[in-house]
């Protein structure tokens, strides 16, 4: 497999913008942020105002192109899928005819299910990664980044992404037990995202101990379903609160604030579906999904 020479980040939201800003610093690869949103157009026009936690923002030039401008993709290309799950179907319609079988594609969405949706839509296997960092966009053209780690299922393609990110502000790791890591991240998301949306709160507020009894109920159901799937989730609510103790805003709240559909179906919705498959009742997760669906409507 020849070295990757072009990186296409499909999904010009906060996460995609952060990755574009970081990867484009590696001058061995051409990096493109693909999108046509108001945010994407602002970045294209004036650059990306990029802030790391509470540091002074800097203006980062980022190449932005619309989906119709993406050329035919081949072996020298790597595609990072950061587009939100509710927008995947229409994204895959334009992406599929552009991809040769040799293109490296990595699904980086939250939850359980995006990989299967992308693989089915593109009619080919894809690789998988999980983002353990925070990103939000307070206004078009601006992103705030909370540094962390990307955990990837080992493959030649994900190893190439690790090489691109070497020495950057995001740590990249190939996870030996990726399924365990996937459920670990899901457990956090099944609390952080619906709580943020329903309570109109950020991570630091969600981390307060007053919510611990509710978190325990959610985590108990997630643990039961994970166990039935052959995975042991090794995290407590106290440990989870440490993950949530920063000023980031979960993406589900940001989606609701913008009147956008959320990813609740691949988060708590996935726990419900898998629980049903194994005969496990998940009333707390059902409650959260129904409340988020109400807010969506």
Ranking 2-6, 21-25, 92-96 by mean pLDDT, the lowest is 2-6
Distance between CA atoms of residues 121 and 114, nearest Å: 10
- pLDDT at position 246 is 84
Length of the chain equals 297
- Alpha-carbon gap, residue 291 to 194, rounded angstroms: 8
CA dist., res. 256 & res. 196, Å (int): 10
This prediction has a pTM of 0.94
**Bridge partners, 79 (sequence order):** 8, 105
pLDDT score of 2? 60
* Token representation of residue 16: 């995609």
CA distance 189 to 252: 10
Whether residue 34 contacts residue 9, with contact meaning beta carbons closer than 8 Å, is answered with yes
Residue 247 pLDDT grade (very low, low, confident, very high; cuts 50, 70, 90): confident
Tens-place pLDDT, residues 193-213: 999 999 999 999 999 999 999
Rounded Cα distance, 46 and 210, in Å: 43
% of the chain beyond a pLDDT of 90? 91
Phi then psi for residue 95, to 5 deg, are -75, -40
Residue whose pair of structure tokens reads 């989870």 in the numeric block: 240
Distance of alpha carbon 199 from alpha carbon 131, whole angstroms: 24
How do residues 37-60 score in pLDDT, each as one tens digit? 999 999 999 999 999 998 999 999
Q: Specify the pLDDT at position 17.
A: 97
Give the chain's mean pLDDT: 94
Share of the chain above pLDDT 70, in %: 99
Going by pLDDT thresholds of 50, 70 and 90, the confidence category of residue 68 is very high
> In the chain, what is the straight-line distance between the N-terminal and C-terminal CA atoms, in Å?
47
DSSP-derived letter for residue 56 is P
pLDDT digits (tens, 9 = 90+) for 103-158: 999 999 999 999 999 999 999 999 999 999 999 999 999 999 999 999 999 999 99
Residue 80's pLDDT band, with cuts at 50, 70 and 90, is very high
Structural domains in the chain, CATH included, are 6-174 (3.40.50.720), 178-296 (1.10.1040.10)
Stretch 210-235: mean pLDDT: 96
Taking residues 252-269, what's their average pLDDT?
95
Assign 3-class secondary structure to the chain: CCCCCEEEEECCCHHHHHHHHHHCCCCCCEEEEECCCHHHHHHHHHCEEEEECCCCCEEECCCEECHHHCCCECCCEEEEECCCHHHHHHHHHHHHHHECCCCEEEECCCCCCHHHHHHHHHCCCCEEEEEEEEEECCCCCEEEEEEEEEEECCCHHHHHHHHHHCCCCCEEEECCCHHHHHHHHHHHHHHHHHHHHHHCCCHHHHCCHHHHHHHHHHHHHHHHHHHHCCCCCCCCHHHHHHHCCCCCCCHHHHHHHCCCCCCHHHCHHHHHHHHHHCCCCCHHHHHHHHHHHHHHC
């Amino acid at each position: 497999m020849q070295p990757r020479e072009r990186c296409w980040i499909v999904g010009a939201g906060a996460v995609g913008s952060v990755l574009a800003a970081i990867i484009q610093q590696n001058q061995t690869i051409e990096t493109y942020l693909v999108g046509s949103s108001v945010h994407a157009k602002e970045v294209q026009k004036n650059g990306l105002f990029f802030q790391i936690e509470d540091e002074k923002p800097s203006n980062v030039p980022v190449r932005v192109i619309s989906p119709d401008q993406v050329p035919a993709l081949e072996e020298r290309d790597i595609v990072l899928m950061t587009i939100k799950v509710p927008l995947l179907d229409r994204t895959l319609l334009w992406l599929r005819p552009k991809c040769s079988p040799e293109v490296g594609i990595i699904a980086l969405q939250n939850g359980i299910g995006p990989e299967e949706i992308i693989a089915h839509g593109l009619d080919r296997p894809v690789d998988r990664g999980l983002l353990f960092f925070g990103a939000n966009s307070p206004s078009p053209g601006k992103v705030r980044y909370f540094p962390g780690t990307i955990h990837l299922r080992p493959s030649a393609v994900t190893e190439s992404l690790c090489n691109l990110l070497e020495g950057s502000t995001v740590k990249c790791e190939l996870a030996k037990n990726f399924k365990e890591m996937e459920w670990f991240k899901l457990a956090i998301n099944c609390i952080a995202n619906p709580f943020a949306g329903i309570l109109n709160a950020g991570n630091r507020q969600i981390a307060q101990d007053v919510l611990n009894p509710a978190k325990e109920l959610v985590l108990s159901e997630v643990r039961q379903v994970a166990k039935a799937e052959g995975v042991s989730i090794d995290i407590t609510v106290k440990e989870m609160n440490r993950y949530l103790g920063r000023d980031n805003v979960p993406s589900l709240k940001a989606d609701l604030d913008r009147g956008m559909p959320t990813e609740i179906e691949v988060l708590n919705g996935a726990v419900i579906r898998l629980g049903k498959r194994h005969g496990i009742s998940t009333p707390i997760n059902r409650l959260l999904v129904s409340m988020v669906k109400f807010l969506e409507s």
